[in-house]
Chains A and B, each alone.
Chain A
Amino acid sequence: MSTANQEEFINRIKMALGRPFAKSPREADLFGSEMCAETRAILERIKNRTAEDRKQLLETLIEAAGPIHLTVRACVDINAVTDAIAEVVLDKDPEWGDKKRVVAWRHPLIESLNLPAALSEQDVPVFFSDLQETDEESLRRRIIDSYIGITSADFCMADTATLVMRTRPGQARAVSLVPAIHIAVIELNRIIADLKELYALLKWDPQESKVGLTNCMTFISGPSKTADIEATMVYGAHGPREVHVFVITAEY
């Protein structure tokens, strides 16, 4: 049934475009099947990025983060990140109820933080967002009851301070969405300049294009906000009210 109405629908479009029932002419470059010079230059630039360049990108990121109420902190190593997260956990209170719970991605970088041990000092449980030890319903419940969600990110675009997160097993979407506070931990080399670089990588970089966008790729630029009442900007609408990005600057 669905193919029949698709055919009818597409035929109506073909008629409208003046080529009824004809084989649609394939425009050679409609899907950009050949890499253009500009893209090549972009990929070269990314490949040849120096430590100095990366530091510069971090500066750009920090500058872009300010106006959108995003907190960015450079941390010299993994331990510094763990300490920083422990600080946030100590400082902040849950939005609903009293019990502090944290949920985190099952991700090598996040696992290396040893959060369960670190936060046990404050008696704060840490759950990982996969189905290894629990079922879907319980995981969902855990995420809903957590006040901090910890993720990594595939990339971070410096010019707009945007985290780019693809979806994989163990890396639930709701972790960066449902808890009131979102913490993202990334390595310095994950910071890229802008959308042009992102799309170039996703489409043309051999490793990245193999992964593709995945079935859910999310850009996050700071905490949620709205200006729907009298055009007054309010931070903290339906998504997280606070977002922190910790950037590990040590070379890995």
Chain B
Amino acid sequence: MTSHKTVTLFIQCLVDTIYPEVAEAMVRVFRQLGISLTCPTDQTCCGQPAFNSGYRRQARFAAKHFIEVFEDSEIIVCPSGSCVNMVRHHYAELFENNSQWLRRAQDLANRTYEFSEYLVDVLGVDELGARFESRVTYHDSCHLLRGIGVREQPRKLLHKVSGADFIEMHDSDYCCGFGGSFAVKYSDISNAMVTDKVKNIMDTGADVVVSCDMGCLMNIQGKLSRIGSDIKVMHLAQILAC
């Protein structure tokens, strides 16, 4: 049954600053479902960049800010699997020595969802009346797949998009090589990985590659653009909003 809980948008720093159209698409989808939304305007970042580079103290500042901004929300939904993974699995590590913050973090984690997970598992929705005439393929982002355990939900949603010709790519669950600062610090390896990913995408004949993480898509898009490919990258929300 449709839940009428208010959804609070946790939009991810990348989406906020580089791909705002993804958040706009997410808003359209929720509004279509008649769900009321809020969006704390002082949200910034979940802290993942600092955490992944080993700067836990600094990441803790971001996490505390995040908790303060979001802890009064009923439900928090985010268009990024890696951010949700950060909140669900790594906030506990950040606050393992501080029981008060740990409790607040765990409490918050229980109410934080990734976008496709929320639609399918919580709202029980997979048909949104979307129409998108294109051949599309899907990239499983690592943290969404292995951290959160979401594999079928985006596929379910894509299969219900009318006009969309969905085709699985080879090694869809292989890392695209983004890894945050890895893409800069170990750019040769990162480039080799995204080159493989782009080859797998092209082999499907798809016009669009879809994912639930803009970090991955930013990386893949950067490669597609450099090689002069016309293939577009789109977040799942953008397809569903069509």
A touches B (Cβ under 8 A): no
